[in-house]
Amino acid sequence: MASSDFRRLPGFRDFPPEELAFRAHLFRAWRAVARRYGFLEYDGPPLEPLELYTEKSGDEIVGQLYNFTDKGDRQVSLRPEMTPSLARILGEHARSMPKPIRWFSIPQLFRYERQQRGRLREHFQWNVDIVGEDDVSADAEVLAVAIDGLRELGLGAEDVRARVSDRRLLTALLRDGVGVPEDGMDAAFALIDKVERMPEEVAREKLAADAGLDPAQVDALLKLFELEGLDDIRAAHPEASVAEAAAPLDAYLGHLEAMGLGDFVEVDLTIVRGLAYYTGIVFELFDRQGELRAICGGGRYDRLLELVGGDPMPAVGFGMGDVVLGELLRERALAPDYERTLDYYVVVIGEEQGPAARGLAHRLRDAGHSVAYEFRDRSVGKQFKSAGTEGARSVIVLGPEEAAKGVVVLRDMASGEEERVPPESLG
Ligand code: HAM
């Protein structure tokens, strides 16, 4: 077979060193921020029982699973998201753990999606979750972590915004403000999730057909999305159930304001989240210009642990992918320049110096320095060229004259300055 027959699968990625360095840059920022908030890192297996997703994640993700039957006749799937695994892991251990549990992870996830800008079949996702705490301050903490993750990478409120909503508030508005019947509620939620990407006429037709709404109800529902902010929403809908359901979101906004993050946050009732398990406040982060898909999504999911067979336990968290975020950072010139570096490059003049060069290089590596040299006899010019290519900060030259005097030449590659030093003084 020709090597062209082994092309990369569509939607999968190679990470040559420059790309990997960029990925590592994101991971470093994510880890630093998570640790700053007291989160501990965990991981789980990339392959899980298929049922973990078919039961809990909702239809959208189930249609995108990389699933198969393994050699032991088990129905399995590559993980499309981390939250069900987290719920499974904590279902087994959480009872004996001090609460709240603050955990984070950076799993590689797989979804058989139609490949498009910002959507691949494989991505890395920063997952940050608080389990065992139902106070709304945990919801605010989680969004603050997500925002700080972006700030750590150089993005500000002028670049990104968090669109937040609460499924309980939307339920009260739909039920008591609009009059959506109980059996039309799921369909209404599913349509609201997509309403932004639909022409208004299509949305109207679907709301009538799928959620059973009459034209006046469709009008009332679409008007909800014109309301700006909680005060507007409460003024337009004075129902007691709406006031009650708006209280957690009100407190949430207050907490974020107190943290100095208010500029990042806006209430947006079209945010409901596609995944089935969310129960309360939900949010998504987008680039301000609205050109890209969501950078991050999350919210409260108080029943998932119980659904996967664990103790009932409240939970809230988010997932932030590396693909859309990478696009945004590159667009804003916030991707660091790739730099290759090496502490020392050892240049030898004449093969006889080989053993001494290897001995010195090894001693320097033992001391924690990065060191490289040519594997075969090359001209001094070529060796210096390699030193430059590899980003060596210093070159050590071992030659017969220096050897006779018990010294090596140490050249600083930036300044060009040279000194003769005994090799024992290095390291
Ligand atoms: P999600 O909204 O499905 O949520 O994914 C979160 C983020 O992962 C998205 O906003 C997007 O940046 C990225 N992402 C998702 N799918 C792809 C893809 N095919 N290609 C590139 N990036 C992608 C969840 O997965 C929830 N489990 C998050 C969560 C954690 N909720 C609570 N805790």
Query: Is 143 contained in some domain?
Result: yes
Is any ligand 1 atom within 6 A of the Cβ of residue 64?
no
Q: 67 with 142, same domain?
A: yes
Question: How is the beta sheet containing 67-69 ordered, strand by strand?
Answer: 47-49, 75-78, 67-69
**CA dist., res. 27 & res. 24, Å (int):** 5
Ligand 1 atom closest to 285 (CA): 10
Question: With helix as H, strand as E and coil as C, how does 278-342 read?
Answer: CCCEEEEEEECCCCCCCCEEEEECCCHHHHCCCCCCCEEEEEEEHHHHHHHHHHCCCCCCCCCCE
Instruction: Name which residue sits closest to atom 2 of ligand 1, judged by CA.
Output: 297
| pLDDT at residue 292 is higher than 90 | yes
Residues 89 and 155 in one domain: yes
Tell me the pLDDT band of 3, cut-offs 50, 70 and 90: low
Let me know if residue 207 belongs to a domain.
no
Token couple for 93: 């251990």
Q: How many other CB atoms are found less than 10 A from the CB of residue 414?
A: 7
Domain boundary among 308, 331, 354: 331
Shared domain check, 166 and 57? yes
- Is residue 364 included in any domain, yes or no? yes
> What is the C-alpha to C-alpha distance for residues 128 and 143, in angstroms, rounded to an integer?
10
Domain check: are 158 and 281 in the same one? yes
- Whether ligand 1 lies within 6 angstroms of the CB of 13 is answered as no
The string of DSSP codes covering 217-269 is HHHHHHHHTT--HHHHHHHH---HHHHHHHHHHHHHHHHHHHTT-GGGEEE-T
CA of 135 to the centre of ligand 1 (A): 24
Residue range 90-97: mean pLDDT, rounded: 87
Provide the pairing of β-strand 296-300 with 101-105.
unpaired
Span 128-149, average pLDDT: 98
Question: Ligand 1, closest atom to CA 295?
Answer: 12
Residue nearest to atom 29 of ligand 1 (CA): 318
DSSP string, 21-88: HHHHHHHHHHHHHHHHTT-EE----SEEETHHHHTTT-HHHHTT--EEE-TTS-EEEE-S-SHHHHHH
Q: How far apart are CA 245 and CA 227, in angstroms?
A: 16
Q: In which domain, by residue range, is 181 found?
A: 17-194+224-331
- Statement to judge: residues 80 and 163 lie in one domain: yes
End residue of a domain, out of 331, 362, 388: 331
**Do 298 and 366 lie in a common domain?**
no
Residue 325 within any structural domain of the chain: yes
pLDDT of residue 4: 66
Whether 2 is in a domain gets the answer no
Closest C-alpha to ligand 1, atom 18? 119
pLDDT at 1: 56
Pairwise CA distance, residues 52 & 75, whole Å = 10
Would the CB of 81 count as within 6 Å of ligand 1?
A: yes
Angle subtended by helix axes 200-211 and 215-224, to nearest 10: 120
- pLDDT at position 57: 65
Q: Note whether residue 7 is domain-resident.
A: no
Q: Whose CA is nearest to atom 8 of ligand 1?
A: 321
CA distance 208 to 251: 34
Q: How far is the CA of 81 from the centre of ligand 1 (A)?
A: 7
Task: Say how many domains are in the chain.
Answer: 2
**Which residue among 290, 309, 331 closes a domain?**
331
> Is residue 104 pLDDT above 90, yes or no?
yes
Q: Is residue 214 part of a domain?
A: no
Q: Is residue 211 in a domain?
A: no
Clarify whether residues 139 and 81 are in a common domain: yes
Q: Find all residues with CB under 8 Å of 280, minimum gap 6, and list them.
A: 139, 166, 167, 168, 248, 299, 300, 302, 316
Q: Is the CB of 298 under 6 A from ligand 1?
A: yes
Q: What is the CATH number of the domain that holds 236?
A: 3.30.930.10
Ligand 1, atom 1: closest residue by C-alpha: 297
Length of the chain measured in residues: 427
Is residue 243 located within the same domain as residue 372?
no
Integer Cα distance of 206 and 210 in angstroms: 5
How many Å lie between the centroid of ligand 1 and the Cα of residue 324?
10
Q: Is 145 in the pocket of ligand 1 (CB under 6 A)?
A: no
* pLDDT tens digits for range 176-210: 999 999 999 999 999 999 998 899 999 999 999 99
Q: Residues 318, 381: one domain?
A: no
State how far the Cα of 300 lies from the Cα of 304, in Å rounded to an integer: 10
Q: Is 172 helix (H, G, I), strand (E, B) or coil?
A: helix
Q: How far is the CA of 65 from the centre of ligand 1 (A)?
A: 14
In whole angstroms, give the CA distance from residue 372 to residue 375: 9
Instruction: Residue 388: give its domain's CATH number.
Output: 3.40.50.800
Residues 357-384 pLDDT 10s = 999 999 999 999 999 999 999 999 999 9
Compute the distance between CA of residue 274 and CA of residue 256 in angstroms, rounded to an integer: 24
| Residue scoring higher pLDDT (255 or 305) | 255
Q: Measured from the CB, is residue 296 less than 6 Å from ligand 1?
A: yes
Q: Ligand 1 centre and the CA of 51: distance in Å?
A: 19
Question: Are residues 351 and 324 part of one domain?
Answer: no
Residue 154 per-residue DSSP state: T
Residues 174 and 280 in one domain: yes
Instruction: Give the per-residue pLDDT at 2.
Output: 64
Average of per-residue pLDDT across 221-238: 94
